[in-house]
Amino acid sequence: MNKKRIILSSIVAAILILGACGQAKEKEEDVSAAEQPETEKQTNENQDTETTEVEEAEEQEDEADASENPQNEAAENINPTIEEETGGDIDIVYTNSDPGLTYAYSDKVTISIEEYQIAHVSNMNESAKHNFDDEDEGYVITYKLEFENNLDEDVFFNASTMMLSDDGTENLYKRIGLVNREDWLLGDKDNAGRQFSPGKYTGMQAYTMTKAQYERLSAPTYTIDIPMLEDDFNKRIGKEAIFKVPFNEDGAEKASKSSALYADKMVTDTIADKELFFAKEDIDETQKIDDVRVTLEGIQYADVKPTTAHASRFSNFGDGPLVALTAKLQVKNDSKEAIAKSLIDKRLILDQNRGTMLSQGMLEPTLYGDLQPGESEEILAVFLFRKDEFDLLKELKLQFGPLADSNAKKLFKEKSVTFDLPME
């Protein structure tokens, strides 16, 4: 009994001591708070509130990023063949599972990038290093594509592609061996996989990059070839599909700006970077050359900076800044004559009597064959100026025509049409 009483007394004493210490501490904190100036107390309270608000805002942003940006989510490797073929360690560094990149060759034939993913490869087999310029590590980008044929006939499509660096200096290498053949984009009607009957088809492609190449890239250009009817080069459907593929935030901004530009070769072939400063894209003025309807849909003016790979092509314009004018036209041939697309004359009339300027064919999309009766074609006319000379101009007119056949014979009595162009 005495022993129990001693233990009980000790416990009670300890509780009383802890309680007293706690009360003393509370009194000290109360005194300290009372001694603080009112403004200091308010400052501390405000800081605590602001810190809490910032932390909550950051948490909300992180949650929003995770839900809105699929590339931020932890992703599985969509292409296990990379690991199988290289024997390397695979680290997925970027995934975009919903890029929203679709191109319409026509209203019934489309190609889409459904998903793309970048993997870092290290500790690979010696025999696999040739994919990465014989270096010990590198990167692989895998594209998951969808081709859709909604025509009532077969389409012939090679699914040939090219990937070009941001500055246009490097063609990156497609590696068919890094995608399982069963996962290639192939048609269903021939052994070569080129003939696609009506329907949807999915498949993958892979390109490799060295570490240095990957670190230089922000939005490379990915180009996909043109499908055809009846395996006939003269029966192509539309133009090449060209995508700017973002690797990071800078690339996303660059791709967004690029998508707003008319697709002349400065954009599609990475010949120059364009910064739009004025546009009017709802002109929609139609004039006729006999039974040929010519509609000026819109125009864009942009500051131009040639890329490293193509700077020499602009040497005739000197070292100063440049301006490009790109006009978008739609031509409908309701005549009985076939019109040679590449022989259409396009020129500017400068300030009424200052002179004329021919369009820059090297910067315009390449046009093949003839515009047959009943057919339509989108045509871009591109004009290039030194900025100091452009700033002096007060009035521009676009003359379209005369038109010619494939033998360069002028058609429709050598007539042309002229459009007044708005300027900023």
pLDDT, tens digit, 9 for 90 and up, residues 213-241 = 999 999 999 999 999 999 998 899 999 99
If asked whether residues 303 and 392 sit together in one domain, one would say: yes
If asked whether residues 111 and 219 sit together in one domain, one would say: yes
Sequence-distant (≥ 6) Cβ neighbours of residue 201 within 8 angstroms: 146, 147, 148, 149, 185, 186, 187, 188
Percent above pLDDT 70 for the chain: 83
If asked whether residues 255 and 268 sit together in one domain, one would say: no
If asked whether residues 385 and 301 sit together in one domain, one would say: yes
Domain boundary among 219, 242, 259: 259
The pLDDT confidence band at residue 318, using thresholds 50, 70 and 90, is confident
If asked whether residues 283 and 213 sit together in one domain, one would say: no
Lowest-pLDDT range of 51-60, 103-112, 235-244 = 51-60
Report d(CA 407, CA 367) in Å as an integer: 16
The single-letter code of the amino acid at 404 is A
Q: Is residue 286 part of a domain?
A: yes
Domain that holds residue 169: 69-259
The single-letter code of the amino acid at 86 is T
Q: Is residue 232 part of a domain?
A: yes
If asked whether residues 337 and 375 sit together in one domain, one would say: yes
Q: Is residue 227 part of a domain?
A: yes
Question: Do the Cβ atoms of 416 and 288 come closer than 8 Å?
Answer: no
Q: How much is the average pLDDT of 299-318?
A: 93
Report d(CA 8, CA 42) in Å as an integer: 47
Of 135, 133, 121, give the one whose Cα is nearest residue 85: 121
The pLDDT confidence band at residue 368, using thresholds 50, 70 and 90, is confident
Q: Is residue 1 part of a domain?
A: no
The single-letter code of the amino acid at 261 is L
Q: Is residue 215 part of a domain?
A: yes
Report d(CA 220, CA 270) in Å as an integer: 9
Q: Is residue 92 part of a domain?
A: yes
pLDDT of residue 181: 95
- Our count of domains for the chain comes to 2
**CATH number (domain holding residue 129):** 2.60.40.4170
If asked whether residues 205 and 318 sit together in one domain, one would say: no
Backbone φ and ψ for 54, nearest 5 degrees, come out as -65, -45
If asked whether residues 120 and 84 sit together in one domain, one would say: yes
If asked whether residues 113 and 219 sit together in one domain, one would say: yes
Domain boundary among 237, 259, 281: 259
Q: Is residue 52 part of a domain?
A: no
Domain boundary among 259, 292, 307: 259
pLDDT at 17 exceeding the cut of 50: no
If asked whether residues 245 and 160 sit together in one domain, one would say: yes
Q: Is residue 63 part of a domain?
A: no
SS (H, E, C) 191-204: CCCCEECCEEEEEE
> Mean pLDDT in the chain?
86
If asked whether residues 278 and 177 sit together in one domain, one would say: no
Report d(CA 35, CA 66) in Å as an integer: 47
If asked whether residues 311 and 369 sit together in one domain, one would say: yes
